[in-house]
Structure formats: structure tokens, C-alpha cells
Amino acid sequence: MSIAISGLTKRFGQTDVLCGVDLEVSKGELVALLGPSGSGKTTLLKIIAGLEWPDAGRLAVNDQNWLQLAAQDRRIGFVFQHYALFPHMRVRDNIAFGLSVRPRSERPGKAVIAAKVDEMLHFLQITHLADRFPGQLSGGQRQRVALGRALAIEPAVLLLDEPFGALDAAIRRDLRRWLRGVHDATGSTTIFVTHDQEEAFELADRVVVMGEGRIEQIGHADAIHDHPATPFVARFMGATVEFPVTLNSGRAEASGLDISALPRRALPDGPARLFARPEDITLIPDAGAPWRIASRISNGAHLRFVLSHPALGEAEADVPRRTANADALTPDAAVRLRIEAGTIFPAERGIATTSVRSPGFEPVKEKSR
Ligand SMILES: Nc1ncnc2c1ncn2[C@@H]1O[C@H](COP(=O)(O)OP(=O)(O)O)[C@@H](O)[C@H]1O
Ligand SMILES: [Mg+2]
């Protein structure tokens, strides 16, 4: 089933939670909604499911206006992060649930339901769990069962809200591959919500990046990674170091920075801002350069540098430890910063252009959390 969403807005009290969302999902597509906590992902899913209503906008599935349909008439399969299975029901009864509560006139016979459940168990490779209670399952097994329960009704649209969010990184990776296989085999139209970039990019046909109730960018992994459409996406994708620059005929210039590796940009002359990843900054010893190494910390594979500039403030760089010039990069050394990759945005987007912004040193976080 294809989904067409346009102009969707939703406000809770004083807060604009969705500010005009437009999104089309093709039949059989798997789309990931990626965004930080609070960006409106769950609200958007709930509106599609009929658990929440928008203030304005349209939602059509196969050209049918779903905003006129009650939740139970939409044939939605929904899996939440903490979707409690019914604890007093065995796995097979949990999976049968959606079919066995249908109105009597539409309810399949007992034998048909049992056959459907067996088919689901086999398809999801959880036949051995059929007679267990949820309390006897691991977290990953529970989410497989939850997906079985969602799929048993043959949903028009499958909505997954951080379904693997509570699981360990290794199990998440297994389930990701498994889910992709299930999706391809059922041909369902699926929207998968996550705040984990790796999960979104590895799983989805297209990724929709959301920030504060708006879609910031839609695309494939490489395009979002290399060509963030907005400062928000650049930061979200790890370009956490920001330098004030001046654009001159499409070339960026700044004190102590070598930006010649970046392509010319068709942007107006004047103040702008360069966003770069700490690992895309190369340090070149240069006695005349204004940047100084303030600190150097090794985490084994990489050297983390904090750099300081007398006028601009501090920036962070991340260099492989086996870099040829690593021995020369000692505290107090003067360095030039060569920016190997980055994105420049014009100043008129309301971003500061007078100082550096950098996250400072942070311990490496587990990416999937
Ligand atoms: N029922 C509600 N009442 C009031 N505010 C809500 C409600 N549901 C969500 N919000 C607010 O809407 C914003 C987006 O929430 P949500 O859609 O859950 O985001 P996400 O799933 O991306 O974390 C948050 O600021 C949240 O506090
Ligand atoms: Mg959410």
C-alpha cells in the first residue's frame, strides 16, 4: 500500500510537534524515520495508526483518506519498543490475538487461525517458542513475537517504533538483518522509527531525517552523510565542529584553515559557516599558524586533539594514531587545520559566524544507545 502524507501539523498545548510534514512511501518500501528524541517520530506514527489525530493535513493510503477511518479499520501492524506481549498468553495465542478479536462476522474459524499462527511461527523462525510464555523469552525473542503478532493480521502498513531500542548492539544487528528479510518476503509497506543512524542506513530503502517536527532531508545513506541539506543534519551526522568562514567567489577562507580540498560552492560572498567531522580535520605543523594544540589524548586507535585559536575558541580533531606526522603533534605545537571534507552553509540560516563551536572531548559513546 502506498502512503501519502501532506501538510501534517500537530500541536500539543504550546508545542508544535509536527510542523507541516510531507512524505510519500511507495508500496513495498521500507522507510526509516531517523531523528533525535522529541523530534515527533512517534507522534507521526501514531497519526498514521489512528491513535492520534493531526490538527491539519492529509493522510491517504492507496488513495483512501485514512483520517476518516477509525484505528481498528486501518489494518495497521504496530510494534513498539516496549510492546508488552500479553504475559498470561502463550506465544501462539499472542500471535493469534489480532485475528481472534475480530468481529464475529469477519473472524476466521479456529482452524484457520491456528494454521495462520503456524505459518507465522515458521516464517519468523520461532516455532520452537510457540508454547512459551513471554516471561520465558529473551528481549530479542519477544520482539520477534511482537512482530509476528503485528504481521498475523496481514497489515496494510507496518509501523515499527524503535522496536529494537531496548536490546544489545549485537542482537540489534541480527534482528536488523532478519527484519529486512521478513520485510522483503512479505512485501509490506513499512515505516521504521529509530534514533540510531547505523540502524536506519543499513535497514532502510530511504531514510527520512526528522528534527523538531520537520523533515530535514530524505535520501540514501551516502547522500545524507556527504551532503547534509541543513545545519541540523550536518550536526546530527557527526559534523560537530563548526568554523566561521568567509566566502569569496565560492571559495571559503578562514584564519589558519586550509579549505582548498572542498569543492567551490555556489553561495553568495560573505560570512558563512563550515561544518566538519573531527576525523575530517588534518593537522599540519606550521610555526606561523594561529591554532595551538591544547591537549592530546590517545584512545589507542585515534588521537583526540583539542585545538585553540586566540580569537575563535576551541575546536576538536580526531587523527589516526599511526599518522605519519603524529610525533610532531605535541601540546603547544602551532598547526594549520586542513579540512578534508565538510559542508558550508550561508550565514542567513540564523547560525553564528563569529566563533568556533565544538563538542569538546567526550568519551566514545556506544553508537547504538
Ligand atoms: N500526548 C502528548 N501530550 C503532550 N505532549 C506530547 C504528547 N506526545 C508527545 N508530546 C511531545 O511531542 C514532542 C515529540 O514527541 P514524540 O513524537 O514522542 O517524539 P520522538 O518519538 O521523536 O521522540 C515531545 O516534545 C513530546 O514531549
Ligand atoms: Mg518516540
Higher pLDDT, 21 or 84: 21
Provide the mean pLDDT of the chain.
90
pLDDT for position 118: 94
Nearest Cα to Cα of residue 210 among 202, 218, 221: 218
Q: What stretch of H or E contains 367? A: none
What is each CA distance from 231 to 114, 170, 346, 367, in whole angstroms?
52, 31, 10, 21
Residue 47 has pLDDT above 90, yes or no: yes
Ligand 1 atom nearest to 39, measured from its CA: 22
Nearest Cα to Cα of residue 59 among 100, 14, 7, 104: 7
Q: pLDDT tens digits, residue range 250-275?
A: 888 998 999 999 988 888 889 999 99
What is each CA distance from 51 to 80, 154, 164, 170, in whole angstroms?
13, 19, 21, 32
Residue whose C-alpha cell is 569538546: 360
d(CA 175, ligand 2 centre) in Å: 19
Provide DSSP, 24-54.
EE-TT-EEEEE--TTSSHHHHHHHHHTSS--
Take atom 12 of ligand 1 and give the residue whose Cα is closest.
Answer: 17
Take atom 8 of ligand 1 and give the residue whose Cα is closest.
Answer: 43
pLDDT for position 324: 82
Q: Phi-psi category of 33—alpha, beta or left, where left has phi over 0 and alpha has psi -120 to 50?
A: beta
304: three-class secondary structure by DSSP: strand
Q: pLDDT tens digits, residue range 330-346?
A: 999 999 999 999 999 98
What is each CA distance from 322 to 71, 325, 327, in whole angstroms?
57, 8, 9
pLDDT for position 265: 80
Contact 351, 273 (CB under 8 A): yes
d(CA 142, ligand 2 centre) in Å: 19
Domain pair 3-226 / 241-349, same fold: no
Q: pLDDT tens digits, residue range 112-168?
A: 999 999 998 998 889 999 999 999 999 889 989 999 999 998 898 999 999 988 888
d(CA 212, ligand 1 centre) in Å: 10
d(CA 250, ligand 2 centre) in Å: 40
Give residue limits of the domains in the chain: 3-226, 241-349
pLDDT for position 369: 33
Q: Which of 8, 10, 12, 194 to mutate to test the pocket of ligand 1 (most atoms within 8 A of CB)?
A: 12
Take atom 24 of ligand 1 and give the residue whose Cα is closest.
Answer: 38
pLDDT for position 84: 77
Q: pLDDT tens digits, residue range 198-235?
A: 999 999 999 999 999 999 999 999 999 999 999 999 99
Q: How far apart are CA 335 and CA 354, in angstroms?
A: 20
Take atom 6 of ligand 1 and give the residue whose Cα is closest.
Answer: 12
Residue 195 has pLDDT above 60, yes or no: yes
Residues 6+ apart with CB under 8 A from 106: none
pLDDT for position 358: 63
For domain 241-349, which CATH number applies: 3.40.50.300, 3.40.50.970, 3.30.360.10, 2.40.50.140? 2.40.50.140
What average pLDDT score do residues 8-29 get?
96
- Which band of pLDDT confidence, cut at 50, 70 and 90, is reported for residue 367? very low
What average pLDDT score do residues 175-193 get?
92
Kindly state the cell numbers that stand for 328. 610532531
Q: Which of 43, 196, 215, 232 to mutate to test the pocket of ligand 1 (most atoms within 8 A of CB)?
A: 43
d(CA 40, ligand 2 centre) in Å: 7
Residue 368 has pLDDT above 60, yes or no: no
Residue whose C-alpha cell is 493469534: 96
- Main-chain dihedrals φ then ψ at residue 171, nearest 5 degrees: -65, -35
pLDDT for position 40: 97
Shortest-distance ligand to the CA of residue 214 = 1
DSSP classification of residue 84: -
Ligand 1 atom nearest to 37, measured from its CA: 23
Ligand 1 atom nearest to 193, measured from its CA: 21
Residues 6+ apart with CB under 8 A from 274: 242, 243, 244, 245, 252, 254, 257, 259, 262, 339, 342, 343, 344
- Main-chain dihedrals φ then ψ at residue 78, nearest 5 degrees: -130, 130
d(CA 47, ligand 1 centre) in Å: 12
Q: Which of 9, 42, 53 to mutate to test the pocket of ligand 1 (most atoms within 8 A of CB)?
A: 42
Distance from chain centroid for Cα 350: 24
Kindly state the cell numbers that stand for 81. 519498543
Q: pLDDT tens digits, residue range 88-107?
A: 999 999 999 989 988 888 88
Residue 74 has pLDDT above 50, yes or no: yes
Residue 363 has pLDDT above 60, yes or no: no
d(CA 37, ligand 2 centre) in Å: 6
Higher pLDDT, 170 or 11: 11
Q: How far apart are CA 312 and CA 348, in angstroms?
A: 20
Residue 365 has pLDDT above 60, yes or no: no
CB within 6 Å of ligand 1 — which residues?
A: 12, 15, 17, 35, 37-43
- Which band of pLDDT confidence, cut at 50, 70 and 90, is reported for residue 316? very high
Q: Phi-psi category of 159—alpha, beta or left, where left has phi over 0 and alpha has psi -120 to 50?
A: beta
Fold of 3-226: Rossmann fold (3.40.50)
